[in-house]
Amino acid sequence: MRESLPRSFFALLAAIPVFMLFAGGSFLQRLIAAELPAFGIMAAALAAILSYRLALHLRLPRALLVAATCAAFLLALPRPIDFSRPLAYLNLVGGTGLFLAIGLALIVAGAAALGRRIAKGAEIAGVATVLALLVVAFLFHLSPANAVAAALAPLGRLGDSYGALMLIVALETLLWAVGVHGPALLAAVITPLYLTLQRQNTDAFMHHAPLPHIVVTSFFLFVFPGGAGATLPVHFCYSLAALRA
């Protein structure tokens, strides 16, 4: 019971975008408004945590990797940078932040590892090269986050379909069949993508606009209980009926 309670609580939070369509009131709106900037905070935390774990795994200086990745994350934030409205800006960061944090942590750790292979103690040189490139991009008003957002746009259109969902479920089921944790293996790519789509749905809900996406992170709550794809037909019929209504 002690272990299942936190999981149930977080599952309830994840399901909010699903049942919010059937509920109203200012409390839900405040809760959903707080969920949007949470993605940006999650991305910043991921940049620090992932770089720390990579430093432990690769036996690199932990302080160097964490500080460098956090600095790289700040330099790569979406442009224009506007800290005068922190919640609105965190909402903007949340759209690409998870991809950005993962990519930068891997790049900084890879640069440090490469520097160490070239010469002992050259980890700083490798990290400094990455930061120097980001500083140049920053000075020329180039934003990696904006580039990631542009790259994710077609992926989002591809991912928001039953065909893409069926492919994901089929791959994860096949991986399970050979003893590999399918959702965990594909989560690094799938989760940030569908969190971005869910963030866009939440933003549309807050502005009283039609929800642009059907397949989002909370959708998978209907797909995986009892095994990958076990309850997908039920949700498919429900969504089809809702579209025809």
Is pLDDT above 80 for 105? yes
What is the C-alpha to C-alpha distance for residues 22 and 38, in angstroms, rounded to an integer? 23
In this structure, how many other beta carbons lie within 10 angstroms of the beta carbon of residue 53?
A: 14
What is the C-alpha to C-alpha distance for residues 22 and 30, in angstroms, rounded to an integer? 16
Domain residues for 33?
Answer: 4-244
In the chain, the number of structural domains is: 1
Q: What spatial distance separates the first Cα and last Cα of the chain, rounded to whole Å?
A: 40
pLDDT value, residue 16? 46
pLDDT digits (tens, 9 = 90+) for 66-76: 999 999 999 99
Average pLDDT over residues 157-182: 74
Position with higher pLDDT, 166 vs 234: 166
Highest mean pLDDT out of 55-59, 76-80, 155-159: 55-59
Is pLDDT above 70 for 153? no
Helix axes 123-139, 97-118, angle to 10 degrees: 140
What is the C-alpha to C-alpha distance for residues 153 and 69, in angstroms, rounded to an integer? 25
How far is CA 161 from its chain centroid? 19
